[in-house]
Structure 1
Amino acid sequence: MKLSTLALRTVPGAFILNAGIGKLKLDKDSAAGLQEMASTGVPAVKNLPPQKFGKALAYAEISLGAALLTPFVSNRLAGLALGGFSAGMLSMYFRNDAMTQSDGVRPSQDGTALAKDSWLAAIAIALITSKKD
């Protein structure tokens, strides 16, 4: 694996894996808060019980992080998975008026944490379009 590919996969992979592990023991109120935020970008998540949503999110993040960190998972497959994840995150960003300034693009102070997920989208594109190692 090339050093550039290693950097593209290891940093977000470790971050996302850690985030997923941290969500495994979410209490009901914390899961409900995450679900409320997620529903701004993906309205269908409202249909799940909060704790089921929290577990599903935790397992999804663990799976994605592990896929990015596993060398035998192709760059294209890892990039597609990361692209789907970042699309969900960015949909929350763009569909919530409080996250952007009046132009609808630049982040507000509240939106800065989600705006950084644009970097994940860029990493996904780089992985999908990279030549085979």
Structure 2
Amino acid sequence: MRFLARPHQLPARLAAGAFIMNSGLTLASSYRESAPHIHGMAATAYPFLKDMDAEEFTRWLAKGQIAVGAALLIPLVPSLLAGAALTAFAGGLVGLYLKTPGLRQEGSLRPTQEGLSFAKDVWLLGIGAGLVAEELVRD
């Protein structure tokens, strides 16, 4: 496993990392206010989260976003590891989009107006999967 990101991977890693880091830092500074809404949406898509305290869930989500963002932004973190973290995180976001009522048009993957901000997370999934796939097929 390489311990430095390949130069051509840096633009995607930096773009995704900066986006996720900003989201995590923003959430960390306002998790108390946003906790009920964020936890409610997550628990709708992922029922096993219903019993978790909303503030605790949101605090852990912010920490997770910051960790994934940092892994992508630091070129010393292997792309396989950073890509796997991003793929897992983005997979959860895409799952949220697919499982939350009202975010998709009836019988379609196309987003409603309310779902547009969630549907765009597919680009994060693509970047993560691309990083993982490249590192698995290269020496």
TM-score normalized by structure 1?
0.91
- Note the alpha carbon deviations across 1:58-95, whole angstroms, 9 max, x for none: 10000000001111111111111111111111111111
Query: In the aligned structure 2, how far is the partner of 1:91 from the partner of 1:55?
Result: 20
| 2:52 counterpart of 1:48 | yes
| 2:115 counterpart of 1:111 | yes
- From 100, 104, 111, the equivalent of 1:100 is 104
Contact 1:42 / 1:88 at 8 angstroms: preserved in 2? Answer: no
Contact 1:31 / 1:51 at 8 angstroms: preserved in 2? Answer: yes
Q: Give the structure 2 partner of residue 63 of structure 1.
A: 67
- Note the alpha carbon deviations across 1:2-28, whole angstroms, 9 max, x for none: 443001100010110111111113253
- From 7, 11, 14, the equivalent of 2:15 is 11
Q: List 4+ stretches of structure 1 deviating above 4 A.
A: none
Q: Which amino acid aligns with 1:14?
A: A
Q: Secondary structure at the match of 2:50?
A: helix
Displacement after TM superposition at 1:108 (Å): 0.6
Displacement after TM superposition at 1:130 (Å): 1.6
TM-score normalized by structure 2?
0.88
Distance 1:61 1:27, change over 3 A: closer
| Structure 2 unmatched runs, 5+ | none
5 Å-filtered alignment, 1:18-29, equals: 18-29=22-33
Structural RMSD (CA): 1.6
